[in-house]
Amino acid sequence: MTGKAVAIPPLSCMANDIKNQRIIFRVTEDEKKAFLKKVEDAQTTASDLLRERVLKDEYFIVAREPKASIDKQKLLYLYNKTSNNMNQLAHQANSYNQAGTLTDQQFKQILVNLITIRNLLKSGIEYVD
């Protein structure tokens, strides 16, 4: 591409079709200014420029990660809260163990339960969406 403005002729195959369908989308003020500058540089109409660029140009479609569902968002929120609470419990159990107020058996059982909960949480998130 040389960067020079080139007039884009209307699409001949579409010129005779009745154009009665509208596509509307919102842009920022800066995006609108940039777009109108391109329309002016191309010496065409906004509709013709969009039609030419969108319907005729080759372009790449970049697949984006889909947004998490509401259920997944809620679940992630609960998981974050749960993991924070589990971390606090683990620290407290460790403190009690180091102070000698927990038996080794009790400490190991608490850790096993925390690890089990962690593993269940990890496996559950995979099946939400």
Pair 93, 103: CB distance under 8 Å: no
Task: State residue 36's pLDDT score.
Answer: 95
Question: For residue 82, how many C-alpha atoms fall within 13 Å in the half-sphere facing its CB?
Answer: 14
Question: For residue 16, how many C-alpha atoms fall within 13 Å in the half-sphere facing its CB?
Answer: 2
CA distance readout (Å), 99 to 16, 108, 112: 86, 15, 20
CA dist 36 and 57 (Å) reads 19
What global pTM score does this model have?
Answer: 0.40
Q: Write out the chain's pLDDT in tens, 129 residues.
A: 445 555 555 555 555 678 888 889 899 999 999 999 999 999 999 999 988 888 887 777 778 888 878 888 888 888 888 888 888 888 888 888 889 898 888 888 888 888 888 888 888 777 776
